[in-house]
């Protein structure tokens, strides 16, 4: 059974106000045309044959009106009777025009199966339009076609009458749509205005010509069918061109333009349903990207690729049933608009059906072509309330599905690396890098949560060197002095030694886990003073690296921290992820290298000989700029190249091994050390380890953290240490947080370690104070093999 025409229905909740509007229009129509209708009885015998010819043609033409397909409810069909009834109005007055128009409305209503109320409203609507036009004609000198030549005043009256007819008619139709469907009045009216002006305006302008021909002979009236047919064809061609412009020429599916119109249409409808509290007030936009289409194009040519797209479109249309829409956006991208959803599970179900339809190979020229698809889903209104937002979020979900080697993904804000929030974060980062103060290393105040260091008299000692009141660190005044704690109180020293020795600490306070010389994490650091900007300030924190066998501090790793004025301390991983997507990464690396090299020079001036490690991204290694920059900074600050070390990840290494190797080789020739960071988490091979000029490998914290409990993690760590030592590389373990892990690493022969067991990352000034009170922590006795878990035989 065919569904009823929605234009014959009034949505629940709007019946009263819409019915009142229809009754008001009918009442106004009767009042305006009553006198003319009463007088019509005496005029009928005097009406000429030309009138009757026009009346019959009006009724006959409206028996087959032109209905523009796909038009919104606010726009009407093209009724040729408009030309005849307006001509009758100009030639014989309001009464005959209203009667003929009412008959044509009744005929077209029966033909188009209009509801009775709709036919009555159309009759009243046209009567009001004709009455408005008739009122304009009465403002002129008299009867327009009562004889004689037409003057400029008569022409102005005719034009004014046509304008009045159009304004009243279009205004009543638009108001009725607004009352019935609750859509926004102006955008809806504006979209339908060009078509109405073209079709209805042409008919109204043809009416004066028709009356002029009727004055000469009634036989000339049927000739108007020729220009009417031209108007009919013009309207049809306009619609056909509009339809062709909205179709993809290869597959015949709707294109992006049609998809935009459909999504906007459905958004309006679903918003109205949601406002009324009706169920199924959601829609889904599914974006489909073929996974291996480029391989087909490259190997077999574009002709085969086009045939493949046609076959894919046919499979999609077989799966997706009306009223859902399938569209081709271009290339190998398709989209589906799914309406009337209650939850996301229905969209996932359709997406799974599409995946199954695309899973079977497509046979072309005897060759089975295997193409799959990745599908991203965005829902209205959860993921967007307009086409642009829904499309972008569906695109994000689709790429998320590709990256996860999945077939279907629903949009989530976590996977949107280019969200408005992240773009704002990127803008703030660029601002703080370009116009903020130079990267500093903290203000030297004792971190929150750490008890201040006090002398024997109880007075609090400074935790950092003095800072010049004008904002400059007086590192030059300490060139020949190494800062040290002027504390000789035995009790204080006992406390420090007890805290530094895990065995003594456990004996004294067995209820608390040991972490020597605790330094609060970056998240609990005091707020960094902003340099007058709204983007906060970037600082460098340093985490000590300890030689396990001797307990000596052999270096530090420089870690980036950004305290945002609104978001607080930004997660370092998010900071790097945001920066790596743009040229801001280059600015960030330049600032970090400048600050770290300058800090090494400051430490050297005070007698500290520390090696600092800096992480660099894949973008930094793809050009030779970083090698030039590091060489220049080392020379400018007089820092020995072996005091700086760069850490690269396996992902950066595998992104473009040849270009990365070129940059690393240049840095190695300068004398800068190269460490392979997060070893074991990527896909680098032993061949790369053999070819790269590495000096160090770092075991990733994900293995170190679990090695005390997990035999597999322990085996991986031991194997990595053995491999590094066999290749002559220094091995550093990250994420050492407890005594047992520390002892296991010593037993395995690891060279150095870093982690909260020794110290958390801290500003440079706090690091100086930490070094002053740090006492080397050495393992007691030989390797504690009993504490090393072993895998059971399988």
The residues annotated as belonging to the active site are: 734
**How far apart, in whole angstroms, are the C-alpha atoms of residue 794 and residue 791?**
9
**How far apart, in whole angstroms, are the C-alpha atoms of residue 652 and residue 720?**
20
- Residues with Cβ within 8 Å of residue 582, at least 6 apart in sequence: 426
Contact (Cβ atoms closer than 8 angstroms) between residue 152 and residue 141: no
Which whole-number Å values give the CA distances from 10 to 22, 72, 278, 729, in the listed order?
Answer: 12, 16, 15, 80
DSSP state at residue 145 = T
C-alpha neighbours within 13 Å on the C-beta side of residue 388: 0
| 3-state secondary structure (DSSP) of residue 146 | coil
Instruction: Give kind and range of the element (H or E) at residue 376.
Output: strand 373-380
Both tokens of 209, joined, read: 């010509």
**How far apart, in whole angstroms, are the C-alpha atoms of residue 97 and residue 315?**
55
**How far apart, in whole angstroms, are the C-alpha atoms of residue 299 and residue 625?**
38
| 3-state secondary structure (DSSP) of residue 175 | helix
C-alpha neighbours within 13 Å on the C-beta side of residue 364: 18
Instruction: Give kind and range of the element (H or E) at residue 57.
Output: helix 49-62
Residue 121: other Cβ atoms inside 10 A: 23
Both tokens of 792, joined, read: 């059971």
Cis peptide preceding 381, ω within 30 of 0: yes
- Residues with Cβ within 8 Å of residue 537, at least 6 apart in sequence: 432, 436, 437, 440, 528, 529, 530, 531, 562, 563
- Residues with Cβ within 8 Å of residue 472, at least 6 apart in sequence: none
**Positive or negative torsion for Cα 192, 193, 195, 200:** positive
Chain centroid to Cα 556, Å, comes to 39
Residue 770's nearest CA partner among 438, 442, 440 is 442
Long-range interactions of 142-151: CB distance < 8 A, separation 24+: 144/90, 145/90, 145/91, 145/211, 145/212, 145/215
Contact (Cβ atoms closer than 8 angstroms) between residue 163 and residue 109: no
**How far apart, in whole angstroms, are the C-alpha atoms of residue 710 and residue 148?**
109
**How far apart, in whole angstroms, are the C-alpha atoms of residue 408 and residue 429?**
33
Per DSSP, helices labelled H in 645-728 are 650-655, 657-670, 686-691, 701-704, 711-726
């Amino acid at each position: 059974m065919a569904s009823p025409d929605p234009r014959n229905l009034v949505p629940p909740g709007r019946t009263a106000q819409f019915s009142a509007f229809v009754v008001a229009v009918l009442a106004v129509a009767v009042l305006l045309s009553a006198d003319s209708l009463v007088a019509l009885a005496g005029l009928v015998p005097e009406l000429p044959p030309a009138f009757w010819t026009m009346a019959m043609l009006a009724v006959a033409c409206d028996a087959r009106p032109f209905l523009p397909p796909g038009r919104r409810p606010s726009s009407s069909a093209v009724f040729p009777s408009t030309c005849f009834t307006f001509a009758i109005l100009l030639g014989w007055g309001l009464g005959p025009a209203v009667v003929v128009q009412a008959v044509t409305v009744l005929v077209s209503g029966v033909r188009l199966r209009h509801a009775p109320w709709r036919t009555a409203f159309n009759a009243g609507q046209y009567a009001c339009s004709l009455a408005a036009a008739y009122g304009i004609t009465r403002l002129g000198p008299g009867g327009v076609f009562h004889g004689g030549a037409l003057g400029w005043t008569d022409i102005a009256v005719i034009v004014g009458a046509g304008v009045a007819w159009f304004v009243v008619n279009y205004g009543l139709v638009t108001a009725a749509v607004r009352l019935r469907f609750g859509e926004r009045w102006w955008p809806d009216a504006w979209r339908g205005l060009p078509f109405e002006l073209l079709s209805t305006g042409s008919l109204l302008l043809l009416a004066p010509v028709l009356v002029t021909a009727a004055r000469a002979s009634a036989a000339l009236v049927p000739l108007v069918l020729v220009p009417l047919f031209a108007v009919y064809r013009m309207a049809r061609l306009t619609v056909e061109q509009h339809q062709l412009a909205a179709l993809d020429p290869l597959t015949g599916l709707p294109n992006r333009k049609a998809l935009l119109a459909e999504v906007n249409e459905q958004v309006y409808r679903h918003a109205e349903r949601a406002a009324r509290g009706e169920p199924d007030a959601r829609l889904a936009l599914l974006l489909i990207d073929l996974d291996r289409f480029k391989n087909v194009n490259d190997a077999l040519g574009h002709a085969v690729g086009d045939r493949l797209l046609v076959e894919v479109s046919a499979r999609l249309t077989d799966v997706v049933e009306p009223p859902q829409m399938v569209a081709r956006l271009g290339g190998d991208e398709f989209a589906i608009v799914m309406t009337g959803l209650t939850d996301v599970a229905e969209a996932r179900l359709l997406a799974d059906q599409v995946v199954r339809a695309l899973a079977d190979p497509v046979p072309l020229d005897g060759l089975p072509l295997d193409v799959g698809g990745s599908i991203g889903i965005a829902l209205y209104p959860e993921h967007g309330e307009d086409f642009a937002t829904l499309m972008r979020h569906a695109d994000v979900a689709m790429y998320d599905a590709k990256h996860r080697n999945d077939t279907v993904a629903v949009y989530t804000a976590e996977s949107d690396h280019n969200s408005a929030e992240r773009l704002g974060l990127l803008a703030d980062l660029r601002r703080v890098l370009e116009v903020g103060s130079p990267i500093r290393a903290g203000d030297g105040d004792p971190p929150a949560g750490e008890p201040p260091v006090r002398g024997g008299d109880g007075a609090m000692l400074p935790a950092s060197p003095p800072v010049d009141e004008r904002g400059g660190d007086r590192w030059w005044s300490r060139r020949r002095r190494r800062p040290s704690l002027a504390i000789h109180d035995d009790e204080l020293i006992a406390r420090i030694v007890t805290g530094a020795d895990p065995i003594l600490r456990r004996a004294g306070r067995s209820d608390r886990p040991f972490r020597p010389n605790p330094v609060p994490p970056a998240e609990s650091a005091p707020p960094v003073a902003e340099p007058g900007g709204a983007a906060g300030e970037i600082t460098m924190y340093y985490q000590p690296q300890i030689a396990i066998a001797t307990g000596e501090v052999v270096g530090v790793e420089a870690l980036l921290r950004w305290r945002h004025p609104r978001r607080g301390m930004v997660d370092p991983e998010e900071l790097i992820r945001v920066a790596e997507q743009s040229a801001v990464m280059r600015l960030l690396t330049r600032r970090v290298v400048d600050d770290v090299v300058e800090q090494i020079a400051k430490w050297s001036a005070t007698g500290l000989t520390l090696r600092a490690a800096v992480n660099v991204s894949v973008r930094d290694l793809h050009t030779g700029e970083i090698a030039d920059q590091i060489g220049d900074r080392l020379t400018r600050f007089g820092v020995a190249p072996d005091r700086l070390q760069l850490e690269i990840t396996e992902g950066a290494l595998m992104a473009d091994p040849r270009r990365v190797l070129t940059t690393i080789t240049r840095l190695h020739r300068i004398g800068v050390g190269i460490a392979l960071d997060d070893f074991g988490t990527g896909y680098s091979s032993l061949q790369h380890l053999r070819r790269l000029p590495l000096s160090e490998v770092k075991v990733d914290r994900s293995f170190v953290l679990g090695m005390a409990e997990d035999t597999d993690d322990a085996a991986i760590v031991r194997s990595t240490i053995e491999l590094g030592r066999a290749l002559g590389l220094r091995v550093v373990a990250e994420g050492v947080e407890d005594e047992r892990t520390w002892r296991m690493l010593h037993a395995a022969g690891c060279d150095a370690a870093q982690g909260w067991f020794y110290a958390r990352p801290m500003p440079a000034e706090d690091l100086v104070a930490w070094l002053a009170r740090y006492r080397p922590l050495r393992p007691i006795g030989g390797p504690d093999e009993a504490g090393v878990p072993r895998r059971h035989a399988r």
